[in-house]
Chain A
Amino acid sequence: MSFEDRERLSHDLEGWIDGDLAPERGREIECWLDRDPEAAAELVRALRVRREMAAEMRASVLGAPPVPESLARRMETTMTRSMFRKRSLLAALATAAALLLTVTGILLVPRTRAVASPMVALGRATASYTEFEDVELWVRLESKAMDALNELLGGKIKINGEEMDPDGPMPMRVLIRGRDRLLFQRVADPGAPLASFEKIGGFDGETLWFYDPEDGFMSTYPAKTTEEGGLSFDTGKLSIENLDLLRFLSWDFLQDLQEESTYEIREVTWPADDRAQRRVFRIEPRKEQGGRKVFWAGSTVTIDARRDLIERMVIELSLGPVSLLSAVVEVAATNQGLDPALFFYQSHVPAGTPVKEVSKEKEEEEPEELLRDIGYVK
């Protein structure tokens, strides 16, 4: 037997032990083992080395440190945040409030000036949101496709028997303070104060409340305490668990994006943006990986580099190349020192208004009703 043959047989020995060799080559090994005493010694040695390697590998398992205590806390926090994310997009659109929570969930404010990498620039922002005492947001829904179609048909589109509002839906003003104070109202004029003759809603720390002047009464939805110690609502329109709004704003959606390889972040800053010290990022499904389905969602994030603040975010829901619906979110102000009393219904609802406590869960509303609720039809 030549030196080369012996080397080849020696090399095939591992495959033979695993039973992976072709029968012909396996027989060659067996003949070699029968004939050559050194082959038998090599087999014994190979098996011994295998045993040692297996022991070495198992030592990795046996030598594992215990689960760190800090990990358990971080896991609990992460799971609590993730509960917010379980809602589908349509469910999030169920009410303007739900929409608010959805869109603000991906609203980011960077702590430091933007750096070269979009992922880094946006990623650093996630940690800083909880530093704010309060935030004021403006949210506006737009549907260019539906508006164009309505105009083409001379304003004849009706949804659930009602004509579309030719001016489109009014923007929504949203105030958030601390962990669990929320106030929202549709307003025509961004400069106008909150008014009791428009629908208004909020959460005062204990009760979620809605007031529609046309109904003549106010609805309240008491919160329940969850097993995790947080607050939970389910009004049928809006379902929230473990409410923590400012923490919700710091939602680390970028990590989700990193995990979702079908999405990409790219910078689309134009020279005019650059001159105005803005950076603009586009987040959308990767085309080349088939991430873009028939229905897909994308967003455009604008950072004001001077103030280290994300000033605008546009989230779009598209059907193929056509944008069906977009939600524009702008950060109007932060740390205004909002008075906690502002979030109690008594500050907005006329005295003596009947209060109707709603405890029974409502059914999900039909899409047409949702469009009316979010102000898309009159």
Chain B
Amino acid sequence: MTEPRISVREGVERALRHWPAAYGLALQLTGERAAAEDLCQEAYLRLCRKKSPFREEGSLRAYVLTTVRNVAKDMAGGRPAALDFREMEADLAAVAMVSDPVRVSTRGEERRRVTRAVERLPSPWRAALYLRDGLDLSYGEIALILDTTDDVVRTTLHRARNRVREMLQRMEAGNEP
């Protein structure tokens, strides 16, 4: 059976409902609020230039998130490494601290540590965690959005969680700020 379609105009209007989710992903990918908002705006303009109708509502959020991811890749100059899961270990040491003092100060100590640990993860790991824990998406949906495989998503999530756990242990032991 053919999936019902909705026009670009209607689709874009409906896609605006997913602005918070799109912003959340953009924030994980950029690590910075202003950049996340720019990325989101560009993604929505790209949706407006879509030539064919949208599929029905069910796949709209995934489409918006995929567009955010594609724009992030383009903004990084099209460098695959910007979202390349194979480079994750190598990138880890180079990840910049992006702690937001306002957010951190309003949480308990453990939450602050979690925030710091998550912020130190490479952006693809954060994006995968966000899509899984923040939006409750399946591995398949995450793989589709991040343009990778279910296995890579599964491995990424495990590594990310273990990495956070290790960092928390080191923070508690006073070996890491």
Contacts and interface: CB of A to CB of B under 8 A. Distances in A.
Interface string A37-58: 0000000001011101111111
B142 interface: no
B94 to A, nearest CB: 22
A53 B164 contact: yes
Chain B binding surface SS class = helix
The listed residue with most A CB atoms (<10 A of its CB), out of B19, B49, B74, is: B49
A61 interface: yes
Interface in A48-75: 48-50, 52-65, 67-68, 71, 74-75
Interface string B117-146: 010000000000110011100000000000
A98 to B, nearest CB: 17
Given A55-B111, A56-B118, A57-B133, A67 B16 contact: yes
Nearest to A75: B48
The listed residue with most B CB atoms (<10 A of its CB), out of A20, A55, A79, is: A79
B130 A49 contact: no
B37 A68 contact: yes
Nearest to B100: A63
Interface string B45-69: 1101111000000000000000000
A49 B114 contact: yes
B148 interface: no
A115 B3 CA distance: 46
Contacts of B110: 48-49, 52
Interface stretch (A10-18, A201-209, A279-287, A344-352): A10-18
B157 to A, nearest CB: 7
Interface string B69-96: 0100010000000000000000000000
Contacts of B8: 79, 82
B118 A46 contact: no
A64 B21 CA distance: 8
B117 to A, nearest CB: 9
B27 A82 contact: no
A336 interface: no
A79 B133 contact: no
The listed residue with most B CB atoms (<10 A of its CB), out of A20, A53, A55, is: A53
A275 B168 CA distance: 64
Nearest to B134: A57
A55 B108 CA distance: 12
Contact of B154 (A20, A56, A63, A64): A20
A40 B2 CA distance: 50
Contact of B130 (A14, A46, A57, A255): A57
Given A67-B19, A71-B44, A86-B51, A57 B24 contact: yes
Nearest to A48: B110
Contacts of B33: 65
Contacts of B27: 60
Interface string B6-37: 00110010001001110111011000010001
A54 B157 CA distance: 13
B5 interface: no
Given A60-B23, A78-B45, A82-B48, A50 B133 contact: yes
B74 A258 contact: yes
Contacts of A86: 51
Contacts of A11: 162
A34 interface: no
B134 A74 contact: no
A256 interface: yes
Contacts of B103: 59, 63
A86 B51 CA distance: 6
Interface in A10-34: 11, 14-15, 18, 20
A79 B114 CA distance: 42
Contact of A256 (B41, B49, B154): B49
A49 B20 contact: no
Nearest to A60: B24
A153 B90 CA distance: 66
B114 A57 contact: no
A49 B110 CA distance: 8
A156 interface: no
Interface in A73-89: 74-75, 78-79, 81-82, 85-86
Contacts of B111: 52, 55-56
A58 B33 CA distance: 15
Contacts of A255: 46, 49
Interface of A: 11, 14-15, 18, 20, 46, 48-50, 52-65, 67-68, 71, 74-75, 78-79, 81-82, 85-86, 255-256, 258-259
Given A14-B158, A62-B20, A82-B48, 7 more contacts: A14-B165, A49-B110, A61-B134, A65-B23, A71-B41, A82-B49, A258-B74
27 contacts: A11-B162, A14-B157, A15-B158, A18-B157, A46-B161, A46-B165, A50-B133, A52-B110, A52-B111, A52-B114, A53-B118, A53-B164, A60-B25, A60-B134, A61-B134, A64-B20, A64-B24, A65-B33, A65-B37, A67-B19, A71-B41, A78-B48, A79-B8, A82-B50, A255-B46, A255-B49, A258-B74
